[in-house]
Every structure is written in C-alpha cells, then in structure tokens.
Structure 1
Amino acid sequence: MGRAESVIGVGFDPIGLIGRDRELAELAMFLDKTAADGATVLLTGEPGVGKTALLDATAELAVAKGARVVRGSGVEYETDISFAGLHQLVAALPDELGRLPPAMREALEVALGLGAGPAPKPIAVMNAALSLFDEAAKEQPLLLVVDDLHVVDHASRSAVGFVARRLAGRRIGLLGARRPESGEPFPATGLTEVEITPLDDADALRLLSRRFAHLPRRILSTVAREAQGNPLALLEFAGSTSVSGDRNGAGAGWASGPGRDVRALFGARVERLPQRTRDLLLLAALEGSGDIGVLEAAGGPDGLEGLAPAERDHLVMVAENGRAVRFRHPLVRSAVVDGSTGEQRRSAHRRLADVLVDQPERRGDHLARATTVPDEGVAAVIESAAESSLRRGDADGAVARLRRAAELSPDRAERRRRLSRAAYLAAWVAGHLDVSHEIMREVRGDPVARSLSAAAAAGFLVLVTEGDADTAHALLMDAIEQAPALSDPPHGELETALFTVTLATQFSGREEHWRPLVEVLGRLPEASPAAAATLGRIHHDLGSVTDDMLRRLDEEISRLKGQTDADVVIRTALVAEYVDRLPGCREEVFRVIRDGGAVGSSMPGLIFVAVDDMYASRWQASAEAAAELIALCEETGYHLFAQVGHYFSAMAAAQRGDLDGCHEHCRAIWDWSGPRRLRRLVNHAHQAAARAAVGAADFETAYRHATAICAPGVLPPFNPDVELSAPDLVEAALRIGRHAEARRHAEAIRESGIGRLSSRMALTVTTITAMTSAPEDMTQRFEEALALPGAEQWPFEVGRVHLAYGEALRRQGLNRESRAQLTAARRLFEELGARPWEARAAAELRATGMTRTARGKAGEALTPQELEVARLAASGLSNPQIASRLFLSPRTVSSHLYHVFPKLGITSRAELRDALDALPPEPPAAEA
C-alpha cells in the first residue's frame, strides 16, 4: 500500500515557477532549518493555486541538498481507514521499520494492518512513527511530504501533528498542503502555515506567455482574467483553447470558478482516453494508495500497459522506483470518479476487494461500496473488518463498519445485533454519546425481539446519561434471563450484558437489584479476575474473596503491562479497586486516560486515579483527577460518572478542612442521585460528610451521616461503603457515648474477614478494634495496628491510629506516653495538609500540658476577617447571627471558625474568649 519515496522529476523546475520567488525562498530556508534542527511548513490555498507544484519543487530541491524524501497524500475514499495516510509514509521505510525495537515495530505493524497483535494505543503508534522517522534521518536529513491533508484520515492527521510538535533537535522536515475548509475549522496540526495566494495579473500573463507563446495576447489576457490567478486553471484553460483551435476563446464556459472548471477540463481529457485506460484510472482513484502491485492484480490481463495514454497526457505519473502511481493533481482523481457510472465504480470496488484478501479492513470497505443489496456474506466480512479495527484501537472505524454491516444484513436480528454492538462501542469505547443515541433510535424502530447487544447498549446509555438504574437493570435482566443456559463462562454479548447490569446494580446499591443478579451469578462457573461475574461477586460480598482469587488477581495485574485493550485494563482495575490493588494498575490506567483512543474508558480511568490518590493521602492529586473527570463528563454528557467526581472532590475537601467545598459537592450528589435512588452515590456523599464532621469534632453530625450508610453492627451485602465509613462511625459513636454501638460495629467489621484482603483494611480493623477494647488491652491493640506490614502506604490512617492512641493514653493519665503519639499524629497530619486533624492533635497535646506548639504563638496567623468572626462567636452570637452581621453565609462563618480553632490552639467555642484574651495587643496604627 506504500507510496514510493522521492516521487519527483515530473517536469517542475523550481526556477520556472512564475511568481513564486517569495514562497520558494521561504521553502529553501525551511529546508536549511530542517537539515539543522527540524522544521515544519503547511501550505494552504484553493485547489489549483500551486501547492502541489511547490511541494514537488521543494522535494527536488531537498534531494539536491542531500536530503531523503518520503511522500504521502490524503485520499478522500480512505478517510474512514485509520492510519491510511501514515501507512504511506511508513511503507516507504521498510528497512528502518525492521530496525525499531520490537514493541515499537509491533505497534506500527498492528496499527497499519501489517501484522497481528493486541490493539496499540494511538500514542504508542505515534511514538513509534516518530522513532521510525528518527531512524531514517540518521544518515541524512529526512523530508516528509504530505499532500491533501484536508482529506487525510483523522488518526494519520493526529500523527502528523504529534510528529510536527516534536521535531525540534531532529533533522526531519514535515511539509504539508491542504485546501481551506468551508465547514468545521481544520484541526491544529502543529505545522507553521503559509498561505499560497493566486498569481497577480502580471505573473499570470508571464506564465501564459512562456507556455503558450503561439496564442494572441488578447486570448492570453482573457484566460488570465477568467482563471483569477489560479496557475492550474491558467494552464488548463489555455491548453484547452489551444487544442480546440478556438482562438477567440469563445464557448469556454469559465464562469463558475477556476477549481470547478479545471475539473471539467480534466474530465474532458479523461473522457478522450481509451476505455481500458479509464478503467485502470478508476481502480487507481478508488484504491487510493497508488500501490502498483494492487492495481496490476486488479487490472487483469495486460497489466498496466493501459495506463500509458494517461501518462503521456500528464494525468498520472509513475514513481522512479516503479512501485507507485500518482495522479498529477487531486482534481484529476475527482474527475475520474465523477466521470464514471455507479456500476463502473461498484465493479472496480469488487475487483479491489478480490485482491485485498489479506487486508480485512480495506477489503471490507471495498465490498461495502460494491454491494447494494443485503448480503450476509458481505456483512460478515465487514463485521470482521470492524473487529479488526477495534483490535487496532480504531473505535470510530469499528463503529462505522458495524453500521454498514448492519445495513447489508438480510436477517433483521443480525442487523439489530450489529447496530447494537456499534451503539455500545460508540458509548463505552469511543465516547460518542450522540452517535450511540442515533444508532439506538434506529434499533428501537426495529420490531425484532430485544437482543443482549441491544439491551447492553440501551441500558448503558440510560445509565450513564440519565442515571436510570431501574430501566437499565430491567432491560438487561430481562435479556439475560432469555439467553441460553448459563453453564459456560460468559463471553461476547452475554459478558457485555452482565458487565453493564453489574454497573447498574453497583450504582443502584439496592437489594431488589442485587438479589436477581446474585441469583444469575450463582449459576455461573468461576470466572477470570476481570470478568463481570467476578466484579459482581466481590461487590456483593467483599469478605467472600478467597486467597486464590487474590492470587489470580495479582497475576492478572502483573500481566497488564503493555496491555492495549482498554476494556481489560478498566475491568481489572475495577476489581482491583475493592481490594487495594490499584497501585499495580496505575501505569496502564494512566495510559488509557492519556492515550486518547478510548474516551468512554477514560472516565472510569480517572475514577481509579482519584481512588488511588485518595487512599494514598494525595488529596490534591485526587481532587485534580476528580475535577478533570467532572469537566469531561459535563462536556460529553456522561452525567453518572460526574457524581463520582463530586464524591472524590468532597472527600479531598473533607480531609483538608474545606467544609463549604465538601458540603457543595455532597449537595450536588444528593440533588442528582437522591431522586434517582442511586443509593451507592448517596452513601458516597454521606461518607464524605461524616469524614468532614469527624475532623471538625462534630461527632453528632458524623454519627448521623455514618449511620445513614448502615446501622451500627449491621453490614448489609451489596454495600462496600460500610468498610470505608467504619472508622468514622466507631469514633463518632464512642465520642457521643454510644459505646455499645461502637463495639458492635467494630465486632461486625472484624468478623467480616476483610482484614486479610489488604494492609489498609487490616489497619482499619485493628484500629477500630483498639478503639473499642478494654483499657487493659488497648495499648497492645494500638501497638499491633502500628506494627502492621505495609501500613506506611496509608499515612492518613496511620496518623489516625496515633491520634486515637494518644487520646486513649491521655484519658488514662499517661500524659508523657500520650505526647509521643500525639506529636506523631500532628506531624503526619501537618505534612498531609489535614488541618482539622492537625488541630485536634494539637488540642490534645495542650491538654497534656504542652502549651506551645511548633507553629509559634497562638493567633499570629489569624486574618482580619477570621479575628472578627472569632470575636463575635466569643460574644455568644450564633453562626447565622454572625453571618447576618458580616454579610456572609453561615457555611462561610463555620469554615472560618474551623480555620480559627487550630490557629488559636483550641477545639471548641467555650475556649474562644480565653484564647482571644491571650493574644498579644495589636500594634498601634501608624500616624498619617
């Protein structure tokens, strides 16, 4: 499929380009910069204005300067084949491709259809292409020339931009050309743009006089005026006039614009060619790459001899190495296609499909264009091409091909299945909800009974966009129950349906949804760690996870390195999240997010990053991932995942003492998820609110939120949030005198068996056990918690152990011993930015007799507004009264007070008056 390199020597003399001295000078400087440090140029202009001539001239000059030239161009009939344009550049460098590291070579070969393997991510393909060009530029500077960028496929255009932005310091030049677009703005490529404008009247006449000296000046002036300075139009119009013998220039029909008229003139020239030549030109136009081997095989007997008339008429040219044919100008290709009949085009597509048997996607595309009536054989080939696209990471191509396969499906059930698969991929992998909705509207218009694929697509859409878990669950469970016997591990449609209903049930968190799903899961054999059945079982009962399942999950995670299937990465990470194995998945999850090919999968990927950062006490990083998630969801319409972003934002705010921020995010969750009865999300908000209240020592509020998740001592199935909220519930219960409830809950958590799943869960279990132990056992239990292997991974939880341990020792009158624990807690909380928890530790230290903290004098950091709020609170005013007086919101007043308390070294309003009285007097105001 490769375009030959160094396709030059076609009659373009740089010195002979009339009126292009400025452009040629700029391009010569571009080549000098290319040889020294890398450079880019993009020529823009109307059809026929001379872009291709300048590309050819620059290529000739580059060769003269000792550079190597590799060329490619966009082909409008290949815009839906990912990396078709890049294929042309890569195929011209087979020796360099063989010298790349195996991983890079495989990424390029799989992406371009030259080899088999797991789908590479776009970023891997782009990096490999850049390395390939680097390799080619080792011996001599390399010039990459890409014509017609406006019709280059999206993936190749992205690769061009990627390479263009990274050429500094490399001896590589990238020279492109495109037409201005009348529709959407052309995406940025990273190339420096140079506009090629029409010739002025004087240069137009000079060009005509040089080429057509035999024509009268009057005719040349008429041609110059009508061609509007377009060089190709000038030459073609004048040539047509000369050939016709119409020395008056009458009847030329030049009033519709130079580009359109030139195509008409090209069409007339093509029409005069022998039929055999026109047939070969049509094959070349539809094949797109110019591969001589493909054209020779598809052209039948006599090979390519029939191209000779077109070559002699300068409509096409054959590369010097004889491996590729190129149209003189894109308008020639358009004229060839426009001048053919529908049946001629279909026949040409069929012949090309017969030749491209080893290239499933291109073969499928040609068959799709060659077929006008439903044909299951053709539909199956196109569906196979779609799956090939998906393996290469081309989700958009897979969706387009599945839709075409559906159009050609004679069986309505097959048609519906293929459309549903396309809709699911559009939503889950490609991230195109609008496309998915459009396809599902077509599916819903089909009266055939609901399929698993249709249920999965419809259920996923209604879940992620509207948060309607009830409809999603009903659709999917109905389809699953009608599926064949569930004896083997699910795969294909059934696995997709199970995964989607598990997601719906997770977010619902309601027993009426979990019970029927657990029943289905009970009929299934043991599955792989990334399977939907495994996810459902873990979520249903975390304590039921066996050591063997953990071992297999660890093995699965170890195999993720280099995994390019976003689905496998996301599903594995989803299971790993529940048992604290996310750090092992982090690198691959990051790749899913940053590589760009799987927009839908990027959202759960961001969730996993936020989870991992939250557990590791990297709260700023967690909040940033959450903010990115929320923004992406708002942009794309995935409203369900945005609520998860609000949860992590709320947790980060809670840990850092931003009570207003925490409340704002919790309220967003409650307002959206509550009416939709998404209990899991509602619980998330209660957990964040409980954590904020415990940090602020508001234990009554904390207990109310924690017990909204579960009652003390009751660990309902389908509710993994009980493990996360357990320390808050136990501590809040103890501090408000509900000791029996605290002990009952600690015992239930301990008996659940979760402590063996990870060091964080073990730390949770041992901490709440120590907090609720008898005084004579408490010291030993806290020491056991601090000695747990791997506890250092969870610094906030360790700080919490030190704080609870120090508080317990102080209550026993062991002030000296308690200071060591409280100092450790304060230091950890200070490092983490957990300001409310740091304030609690500082207050406990003062209670042991330590009157000065390492932070300096109490009150020295109060802002004027904090001081005013503190004085009004000390006078006995309530938060609403202070808010009214200072024109603030009550929540802002509350936030100020929680910042004031640690600065003053106190924990309650009762201590405010004494703390303020102890402040040093304010310095007198300076005299004016």
Structure 2
Amino acid sequence: MAAAGDAPAGLVGRDDELAALGSFLDVARTDGAALLLTGDAGVGKTALLDAAVELAVAAGMRVIRGSGIEFESEISFAVLHQLVLPLSAELDRLPASPRAALGVALGLEDGNTPSRIAVLNATLALFTEAANESPVLLVIDDLHVVDQPSIAAIGFVARRVTGRRLGVLAARRSGPDGAFRPTGVPELDVAPLSDGDALRLLSRRFAHLPRRILSAVADDAQGNPLALLEFAGSTEVSGDRAGWTGGPARDVNALFGDRIRQLPGRTRDLLLLSALEGSGDLSIVQSAGAPGGLEELAPAERDHLVMVAEDDRTIRFRHPLVRSAVVDGSTAEQRRAAHRRLADVLVDQPERRGVHLAKSTTAPDESVASVVEVAAQTSLRRGDPGGAVAMLRRAAELTPDPEEGRRRLSQAAYVAAWVSGELDISHDLLHEIKGDPAGQPIGATAAAALLVLATEGDADTAYTMLLPAIEAATSVDGPRTGDVENALFTLTLAAGYLGGPEYWQPLMDLLDRFPNPSPASAATLARVHHALGSMSDELLQRLDAEIAGLNEQTDTDVVIRTALVASYVDRLPECRGALLRVIRAGGAVGLSMPALIHIALDDLYSARLGAASDAAAELIALSNDTGYPLWAQVGHYSAAMAAAERGDLDECIEHCGRIWDWSGPRRVHRLVKCAHLARARAALGVADFDTAFRHASEVCAPGELPPFNPEAVWAATDLIEAAIRTGRLEEARAHAAAFRAAGVERISSRLALISALCTAMTSEPGEAIQRFDDALAISGIEAWPFELGRVHLAYGEVLRRQGRSRDARVQLESARNLFADIGARSWESRSAAELRATGMTRASSGSDLTPQELEVARLAAGGLSNPQIAERLFLSPRTVSSHLYRAFPKLGITSRAALRDALEAQGRSSGAD
C-alpha cells in the first residue's frame, strides 16, 4: 500500500492489476462494467481503488465512494446512503415513486415501507440518471462489512450496468468474514507482492535501512504491502523492532495500537467517536465530542492514521485496521460512553440512534428499549425485516417489564415468520417466550399459530390457540394493536383451511367487535371468505381505491393482504405489479410465497396456463426450500388447475394426489376441496361427466353454496354441467338458483359470466338462446378467455341439439379458437368434436359416411363405450349402435378394433380432417 503522498500510479509490483483496472475503466465509461477486488487485509486493495479513482478522474468520470464500516453494519442502507448523498440533484429529478422509495429507505423522508425491489430499482435509476450526464464510477471499499440491504443494492446495480456508462468497483477481504460475492461480477484477486517487488518497495521508501534489514522485513511481511511499510517504519537501523514477531495483519494491528496509545487522550477520544460514528461525518463527531473544535485530531493526522478532507467535513481512517485498533484499544466503558454521546446527537435519525443507544446500555432501561423498538420499526418500514428482528430482540433484552419484553419478542417472532421467512429465528424467539412463567402475549400466540399452520399444516391447533387469545384481547374497549390484527389474520387463514361451521361461526361472531374494517384488513378477509356476496358496493369501491394506489404502496404486508382480498373479487390483475415487486425484492422471503400464490392465480384466471404452471413450480420449490409446506400445497393446486385446463390429465392427477396425501390427514379441508375442483375440471375436459360430477360434489352438494367455501363459487359451472350431462337436471337447476341467490354477479365480469352461464345451461330450451346471448353481452368478459370459451361451447351444444347447425358452428368455432389460443387442448378437442357433429367436417369423397356416423366412429376408435358416446353427443345408446352398424361396412371393416386404422387410412387417402 502506498503511503500518504505517494502517487497511486507509482505502485510497485502492480502493473498487471493496473492494466486490468485500466481495461475495466475503458469499458465502464462507455458501456458499463463491474469488478470486485479480493485479497487479504493490507494486501493493497485500497491502494488499487485509489489508483482506479485517479485514472477515472483523469478520463472524465465522476467518482462516488463509499466504504463498509464494521460498526455500522447493523444500520440498514448505511453504505447506500454514502453513495446516494452526493447525488441530491439527480435524486430530485427522479419520478415521484422511485424518489420516495429511496428517500424512505435512506431515512431522508417519511412514508410507507418501500419493497426491496422498489429500492433496488430506484437505486439503479438514480445512478443511471447520474451517468446520463457523464460516466460514473461507484467505488466501495470493505464490502465484507457492508450492511446487508446495501449489499443487495450494490449487487443489483453491478449486474445491470451494461449500456449505462456506469462502473461499479468494489473490494472485499478474503476469508469467511465476507461471504457476499455478487453473482456474475468478475473478480480480480490481489495477491501479495513477490519477493523482488517487496524489496523494491522497501528500497524506495526506506533507503536508509541496510539491505539485510530490508530482507528480514520482507521475509516477515510475506509480501503484504501494509505490513512491509509498517514493519520497516518501526525498525531501527540496528535492526531493533517494536514488538512484532510475524503474522502480517495481526502485527500491523499491534503496531497501530502502539501508535494510537502514544496519542493524547483527547485525540484518542475523537478517534473513538469517529470509529463508532462510522459515516465519517465530522459535524456529528464535533457535536458529540468537540464543541470547541477538532484541533485535537491533528496528532493523528500527522501520524497518517487519519485523513481529514480539505473542507473539514469528513474524516477517513487510513486503513480499516486503524479503526479496529482504535476500538480495540478502548475500554468497554469508553465505548459505551461514546455510543451514548453519539445517540444524543442523532435524535433525528431513529435507526442510528437506536443502534448507538442499544450499545450504550447494559442494564434494562425502558426509555432506551422504546427508542430501539422505534429503530426496529424504522428498519421494517425501510424494507429490512432482518434488521428489524435483530433490533426488536435487543429492545426486548433492554426492557425491564417482562410482559413488555415478551411483546417485543413476539413482534420479532411474527416478523421473522411472516415477512422475512426466518423460521429458525422465529422458533428460537418463541422458545424464549415459552420459557417465561408469565402469560404469553397475543403477538407470541399469533407467531406460534402461524408457524404451526404454515410449517405443519395444523390448522386445528392454530385455531384453538388463537380464538380464545383474540377473544380475551378484544373483550375490553381500547385500541386494536397490530398484534391483534396479525392474530385475527392468522385465525382467518386457519378457519378458512378448516372450513366447517364449528370453526367459522365463532369467527363470524367475533367480527362484531371489528366494525367498519379497512378493505385489506383481516376482518374484511374473513367476511368475504365467509360469503362472497357480503362484499358491499361501498367496500368494493374502497378496495378499488386501495388497489389503485398499490403500485405506490411500499408496505409489503399491505400489498399481500390487499391482494388476498382482491383474489376473491377478481382484482388480481391490478395488483400484479406490486406483487412482482415483493417477489423480486428478495428480502421479504416469507411474503414472497403468498405473492407467488397470487401471481399463479392471476395467470390461471387470465388463462395464461403455461405461466401459471411456472409460477406454481417456483412457489412449490421456494416453499419446500424454506420450510413452508402449506404454501407448497397451494402451489400444487394452481399446478393441478392449470394442467386440468390444458388437458394434462396425468399431471393434474399427480398434483391432486399430493394435495390429498398431505392435506387429508391434517384435516386441511379447503385444500382437499381444491384438489376435487381440479379433478372435476380435468374430467370435464375429456367428457368424463360421471367422474366430474363425483369430484364436483365433493366441493359442495348440489343446490347449496355454503359459507366459508369459496371453491363452491368457482366450481359452480363444473357441478352444473356434470349434473346436466349425467341426467340430474333438477339438481343442476337448484344449484344455478343457489348461485343466483348468492348475489355475486355484481362483483366482477367473471362472476357475472359464470352466473349467466349457470342460468343459461339450466334454462328451458325456449329461453336458453336468450340467456346465452345475455351472457355474451356482458362487458369485460374478454379478460376471462377460459370461461368465455366455455360459454361458446355450451351455447354451440345447445344450438346443435336444437338442429341449428349453422348457428352452432359459429359458437363452436369461437370456442375452439379460444381454447386453442390458450393451450386448453382437451377443451379444444371437445369443441372440435362438436363442430364435426354439425357436419362442418366431411368424410372423404370415397365414403358415404354421414357426419354423425363419422363422429360416432371417431369416438369409438378413441375408446369410448356406446353409452359414453351417447352421453357426449346427446344421443341414445341405441342410435349410437345403429350408426356403428352402418359405418362398419362403409369402412370395409367388421370389428370395432379396426376402426382406428380404417379412419387413419381414409384420412391419408383423402386429406380429410
């Protein structure tokens, strides 16, 4: 490492590294590039960064520097703050949304919690904006001690610099203390100097020392530049050494410690404040410890331990080992006093103040604990749930009141389980609370119930834990805390998965204590889940307003809970952007799984069947990897439904089997019903109406639309069609009447279309045509192609039965085209078969098969029995038998087994469809 005053370009033994840096800068200033330097402490990484800065400035690049600081690693976005602060003008030019996301994340303004992806995208947008004016080089030293949220931002930008005239150059220490390595970013390992280069460096700087002494220093320093310079600087001409014995980094640290101990006491105090303050802001150091001035820093400057900027606004330690030596050389009481003084200055920065107060206090102190809790809430709002959990734990440790301490621990446990997906931490926290002989707070009950539900699928136990706890917490007047809302939300999930009246009726009674809930609240979710038709127009309007602002919503929990309510009322498309931000953010792993659930459902309802399968597969993998098997089962349901509509019967059966095997023994009845719904739809696709009716009846009995069974709404058309096609017309009509009575058609165009289809399919022949026309006149139905295809198919079937073949072909061709467009192969085949039955597809010229004889022959060749063919074509089994009797001699065969070959040969010879 070059000493102060040396030109970086004159570094000894670094020609290869400097050449690599030059090439990197050439690319960075024209097309964007990223590079990570790695190496041992003192090997010269910082000197190479300095050299790169000099080269970049000479080339006209704007340089922005930041550095990881061990004592700030608990502060969210501390290093990102360093990088953003010089770009205030560019920040003001950003659109409102990314500007607000960065402002809240960095503590520059108040607002809703930004999602991690919003902060990452805003960071990239800011640096891109700066690079639009001139090439920009971001330089980050000591990446191994950078706070985790800043690491995520730096890595995100580093992987997206191409085409942006933006360079990202970072350095990190080798070894297990710095696990972060940005994926896809090239690395340059900085090795120790060779023996020859080490001697050249020493000879240049210490010409007064004999050659034998320089050789001894080189041997001991092992090519480490910092050790070379410090060891040689502490060696006399006689060869006497100032207490170093080998091991470069350790001994250099000891040498720095000796030099620091020789400084005046006031200088050491200021150095300690600077080391613990972390950002290098001299105004904070001055306010905390030197109201009269900073002259006492001069001895440390003269000894080249620190460098003060010319404007006297920032201080920089020569090397991280200097900072470590300053802290290591202080007493515990001195460190606590320094943290306290810094906390007194940082009253307008809650998170940093909380960190310093937490480190300044050893005995329980409620005033300190409350500040630390505020700091935790700030971390959560800024999109750092892991930091929030750590701060809440510390707040609990500092809380003198045991009940209040347990409340803070329970908050940490819930955030760990629901937001950050850290199950082990949540379990540990709950174990701490459980070990306390005092009563358990409702927040701890909510966290424990969520863990039991999501990890074990034990909805019954979760319900049993939560109901009495919520009843007790809401039995007296007073404000409803966030812990109560979390508990009610988890109770609603548990009751929903259980489904029986013995579970939902006590929940509905409890909701009387929650009047006028917000659209995304647990009380609204419970009411909508209980009866979809109970969603009033006024509440729908409020929900629509909430959704309209969801893209600006930075609280990821609000996004998820709003989307959950929206999923019942067909508002998921409007939530999609916000949900994708939650998934891409990466920090809120726990919330990524519910977000993936809603993305998969949105794809499914919108008939993007391949995308739905992909989202379901991602959800299943993430849930299994993180230990949330309940969410994996929801993924299997989405995959099963997508397979059912595509016509992949085997895949659908496999996913349904997984659901039944896992959910059945755990009495998770809702998921069992979901699997029956998927199997019913798959059976309908292949015209297996008996199987479809059997499975659809497991979702709900014909003629009923029971409470707390939302799948009954989605299964209505399946149950009605299966009932009609198996001769249960009265049951079908009763079910259509029950659906109309539920009053859900006003909620969305999809529900209106489903209701209209149920009515049309069960109407008298004279009314059916008008009812189908009414269904197709509903506004907005193009957004639901699968349901729309079913309407055209059912309409065409009715027209064909009434002998209106020409009109039937119009509807059936529309159905076939819709199903073909979305990849619903089995439903496309059903539509094509109906088209052929209208006579649209003719036999070859050499055959006198009628259109209906041809269709009967094809179905028989496909393996269907005479009763099955009759059911599908609305004929009697006797008529089917007659058609086959006449078809055999026309095809030149005598048995059913020869049908397939005869039809294929006929098609080849004629080119017929």
Q: Same fold (TM over 0.5)?
A: yes
Same amino acid, percent of matched pairs = 63
Distance 1:98 1:872, change over 3 A: closer
**Counterpart residue identity of residue 180, structure 1:** S
The structure 2 residue matched to 1:254, chosen from 221, 245, 249, is 245
2:117/2:582 contact within 8 Å kept = no
CA RMSD of aligned residues (A): 2.5
The structure 2 residue matched to 1:726, chosen from 716, 733, 738, is 716
1:175 aligned to 2:160? no
Alpha-carbon distance in structure 2 between the residues aligned to 1:9 and 1:228: 18
> 1:185 deviation in Å?
4.0
Larger mean Cα displacement after TM superposition, 157-166 or 147-156: 157-166
Alignment partner, residue 116 of structure 2: 122
> 1:625 deviation in Å?
1.1
1:765 aligned to 2:755? yes
Distance 1:10 1:136, change over 3 A: farther
> 1:251 deviation in Å?
7.3
**Counterpart residue identity of residue 746, structure 2:** R
Task: Give deviations 1:460-480, integer Å, cap 9, x for gaps.
Answer: 111111111111111111211
1:164/1:189 contact within 8 Å kept = no
1:509/1:718 contact within 8 Å kept = yes
> 1:489 deviation in Å?
7.8
1:345 aligned to 2:339? no
Distance 1:135 1:736, change over 3 A: closer
> 1:339 deviation in Å?
0.9
Alignment partner, residue 218 of structure 2: 224
**Counterpart residue identity of residue 716, structure 1:** P
Task: Give deviations 1:752-808, integer Å, cap 9, x for gaps.
Answer: 212222221121122121211222222222221222222222222222122222222
Alpha-carbon distance in structure 1 between the residues aligned to 2:642 and 2:581: 24
1:73/1:147 contact within 8 Å kept = yes
2:673/2:711 contact within 8 Å kept = yes
Alpha-carbon distance in structure 2 between the residues aligned to 1:853 and 1:669: 45
Distance 1:379 1:751, change over 3 A: same
Alpha-carbon distance in structure 2 between the residues aligned to 1:675 and 1:157: 44
The structure 2 residue matched to 1:914, chosen from 872, 880, 899, is 899
Task: Give deviations 1:341-364, integer Å, cap 9, x for gaps.
Answer: 111111111111111111100000
Structure 1 residue runs without a partner (length 5+): 1-7, 858-868, 877-909
Alignment partner, residue 84 of structure 1: 78
> 1:214 deviation in Å?
1.8
The structure 2 residue matched to 1:735, chosen from 725, 728, 746, is 725
1:708 aligned to 2:685? no
For 1:96, what is the secondary structure of its paired residue?
A: helix
> 1:301 deviation in Å?
4.2
1:379/1:405 contact within 8 Å kept = yes
TM-score, scaled relative to structure 1: 0.90
For 1:354, what is the secondary structure of its paired residue?
A: helix
Alpha-carbon distance in structure 2 between the residues aligned to 1:169 and 1:918: 59
Larger mean Cα displacement after TM superposition, 651-660 or 435-444: 435-444
Alignment partner, residue 46 of structure 1: 40
Alignment partner, residue 305 of structure 1: 295
For 2:905, what is the secondary structure of its paired residue?
A: coil
> 1:569 deviation in Å?
1.4
1:802 aligned to 2:756? no
Distance 1:609 1:240, change over 3 A: same
1:489/1:526 contact within 8 Å kept = no
Distance 1:561 1:67, change over 3 A: closer
Task: Give deviations 1:361-389, integer Å, cap 9, x for gaps.
Answer: 00000000010011111000000111111
Alignment partner, residue 74 of structure 1: 68
Alignment partner, residue 887 of structure 1: none
Alpha-carbon distance in structure 2 between the residues aligned to 1:809 and 1:139: 67
Alignment partner, residue 137 of structure 2: 143
Task: Give deviations 1:822-843, integer Å, cap 9, x for gaps.
Answer: 2222222222222222222222
For 1:81, what is the secondary structure of its paired residue?
A: coil
TM-score, scaled relative to structure 2: 0.91
Alignment of 1:864-883 (within 5 A): none
> 1:70 deviation in Å?
2.1
Alpha-carbon distance in structure 2 between the residues aligned to 1:606 and 1:101: 28
Task: Give deviations 1:582-640, integer Å, cap 9, x for gaps.
Answer: 22222222222222232211211111112122122111111111111111101111111
1:626/1:649 contact within 8 Å kept = yes
Alpha-carbon distance in structure 2 between the residues aligned to 1:383 and 1:691: 51
Distance 1:526 1:139, change over 3 A: closer
Alignment partner, residue 27 of structure 1: 21
Alpha-carbon distance in structure 2 between the residues aligned to 1:756 and 1:489: 35
Alignment partner, residue 890 of structure 1: none
Alignment partner, residue 368 of structure 1: 358
Distance 1:139 1:640, change over 3 A: closer
Alpha-carbon distance in structure 2 between the residues aligned to 1:772 and 1:41: 68
For 1:145, what is the secondary structure of its paired residue?
A: strand
2:746/2:752 contact within 8 Å kept = yes
Alignment partner, residue 517 of structure 1: 507
Task: Give deviations 1:562-591, integer Å, cap 9, x for gaps.
Answer: 111111111111111111122222222222
1:617/1:794 contact within 8 Å kept = yes
Distance 1:184 1:916, change over 3 A: farther
1:402 aligned to 2:392? yes
Alignment of 1:100-499 (within 5 A): 100-182=94-176, 185-188=179-182, 190-242=184-236, 247-249=238-240, 252-255=243-246, 257-485=247-475, 490-499=480-489
Distance 1:555 1:488, change over 3 A: farther
**Counterpart residue identity of residue 254, structure 1:** T
Distance 1:757 1:911, change over 3 A: farther
Larger mean Cα displacement after TM superposition, 8-17 or 641-650: 8-17
**Counterpart residue identity of residue 786, structure 2:** F
Task: Give deviations 1:23-42, integer Å, cap 9, x for gaps.
Answer: 22322333333333333332
Distance 1:920 1:853, change over 3 A: closer
> 1:175 deviation in Å?
2.0
Task: Give deviations 1:729-752, integer Å, cap 9, x for gaps.
Answer: 111111111222111111111112
For 1:177, what is the secondary structure of its paired residue?
A: strand
Distance 1:28 1:618, change over 3 A: closer
For 2:65, what is the secondary structure of its paired residue?
A: strand
1:291/1:325 contact within 8 Å kept = yes
Larger mean Cα displacement after TM superposition, 544-553 or 421-430: 544-553
Task: Give deviations 1:391-424, integer Å, cap 9, x for gaps.
Answer: 1111111111101000111111111110110111
Alpha-carbon distance in structure 2 between the residues aligned to 1:53 and 1:35: 21
Larger mean Cα displacement after TM superposition, 90-99 or 521-530: 90-99
Structure 2 residue runs without a partner (length 5+): 848-858, 867-894
Distance 1:520 1:874, change over 3 A: closer
For 1:307, what is the secondary structure of its paired residue?
A: helix
Alignment of 1:49-64 (within 5 A): 49-64=43-58
Larger mean Cα displacement after TM superposition, 309-318 or 89-98: 89-98
1:588 aligned to 2:578? yes
Distance 1:434 1:479, change over 3 A: same
Alignment partner, residue 16 of structure 1: 10
Larger mean Cα displacement after TM superposition, 444-453 or 136-145: 136-145
1:691/1:728 contact within 8 Å kept = yes
Alpha-carbon distance in structure 1 between the residues aligned to 2:574 and 2:580: 11
Alpha-carbon distance in structure 2 between the residues aligned to 1:31 and 1:561: 37
1:107/1:124 contact within 8 Å kept = yes
1:375/1:408 contact within 8 Å kept = yes
For 1:561, what is the secondary structure of its paired residue?
A: helix
> 1:666 deviation in Å?
0.1
**Counterpart residue identity of residue 749, structure 1:** F
Alpha-carbon distance in structure 2 between the residues aligned to 1:226 and 1:321: 39
> 1:183 deviation in Å?
5.5
> 1:674 deviation in Å?
0.5
**Counterpart residue identity of residue 733, structure 1:** A
Alpha-carbon distance in structure 2 between the residues aligned to 1:582 and 1:127: 23
2:364/2:397 contact within 8 Å kept = yes
Alpha-carbon distance in structure 2 between the residues aligned to 1:812 and 1:700: 24
Alpha-carbon distance in structure 1 between the residues aligned to 2:29 and 2:829: 62
Alignment partner, residue 850 of structure 2: none
Alpha-carbon distance in structure 1 between the residues aligned to 2:42 and 2:535: 68
Alpha-carbon distance in structure 2 between the residues aligned to 1:618 and 1:196: 50
**Counterpart residue identity of residue 899, structure 2:** D
